[in-house]
Structure 1
Amino acid sequence: MPTLYPEDRLYHRDALWLQRLEGDEALIGINHHAQDSLGEVVFLDLPRAGATIRCDTPLGTVESRKAVSDMIAPVDGTVLEVNARLRNEPALVNSHPYDEGWVLRIRLTSPEDTGHLHTAAAYLSLMGLTD
């Protein structure tokens, strides 16, 4: 069984994950705990390519059958791409939160500034969860 919190991601305390890519690029998505708590995701309101996101501020919203919640940016960056599949298939966030259900591809403003993010083990401990 695949892990619910992959080790190749960093986790923000407010439900999003970050995966470093080549150079100063990264993917951002919604972690297992958040998507599980939300229930079936039915809509995402996301920034457009070219938008700037700021750490610890809302970058968009996620709507489920239960609630509408802000997605809080884990880092500063510029949006390079929005996962277009989520327009027609928002539930990919539930079924594949770490691969097909990624939300944004960004260029990090300061690639070295990720020390406030948590490893999988640290996130699980912080949140009182088990994998």
Structure 2
Amino acid sequence: MEIPQDRLYSENHLWVKKKRGNNVLIGLTDFGQLKLGEIIDIELPDEGDEFEKDEVFGSIESSHGVFDLVAPVSGEVIEINEELLDAPDLINEDPYDEGWIVKVKISDPDELEELLTADEYEEITAGEEILTEEEEFDFEEEE
């Protein structure tokens, strides 16, 4: 399992990579995509949409069900990865590059300090197992 050092992480298995200015890319971690299994559909916000930290901004449908994407930071969507609309399995194939989800202009850069470093994220995932389809899944399932 890969956990790049150049990103920050949320407990909801999303990564955040700083770009120029107050822009960040957000995507699903390698661990998150392994837990979800085969991703078959994704619902993304529209460019210009704004959301607050810990708010649902989209969803991913996988072989295990439909799960919410919970915002690791507050901000405005300035770009979505439109390739995911036709090929959501890019997240499974390349979660850290081609499989990024949204580019966001963050409204509160201090929120980045609340995210986990790669080492901290590795610690919290170390005790978790990748589940098979027969086992219970513990992502927040959409209601």
Mapped to 1, the partners of 2:100 and 2:45 lie a distance apart of 14
1:120 to 109, 115, 118: 118
Mapped to 1, the partners of 2:28 and 2:127 lie a distance apart of 16
Q: CA RMSD in A?
A: 1.3
Of residues 105-114 and 16-25 in structure 1, the stretch that sits farther from structure 2 once superposed is: 105-114
Equivalent residues in 2 for 1:21-60, closer than 5 Å: 21-60=19-58
Deviation, 1:57, is 1.5
SS in 2 for 1:81: strand
Deviation, 1:18, is 0.3
Deviation, 1:129, is 5.2
SS in 2 for 1:114: helix
Mapped to 2, the partners of 1:94 and 1:16 lie a distance apart of 13
The residue that corresponds to 1:80 in the other structure is 78
Mapped to 2, the partners of 1:106 and 1:67 lie a distance apart of 26
Deviation, 1:118, is 0.5
The residue that corresponds to 1:66 in the other structure is 64
Deviation, 1:115, is 1.3
Give, as a single letter, the amino acid of the residue that structure 2 aligns with 1:73.
A
Mapped to 1, the partners of 2:24 and 2:127 lie a distance apart of 25
Unaligned runs of 5+ residues in structure 1 are none
Mapped to 1, the partners of 2:60 and 2:54 lie a distance apart of 16
1:64-84 CA deviation, whole Å, 9 max, x = no partner?
Answer: 122110011000010001101
The residue that corresponds to 2:9 in the other structure is 11
Give, as a single letter, the amino acid of the residue that structure 1 aligns with 2:121.
Y
Query: Relative to structure 1, is the Cα distance of residues 117 and 30 closer, same or farther in structure 2, using a 3 angstrom cutoff?
Result: same
Mapped to 2, the partners of 1:122 and 1:30 lie a distance apart of 16
Deviation, 1:54, is 1.2
SS in 2 for 1:98: coil
Deviation, 1:33, is 1.1
Mapped to 2, the partners of 1:13 and 1:49 lie a distance apart of 25
Mapped to 1, the partners of 2:62 and 2:51 lie a distance apart of 22
TM-score for the superposition, normalised by structure 1:
0.93
Q: Percent identity?
A: 36
Deviation, 1:108, is 0.5
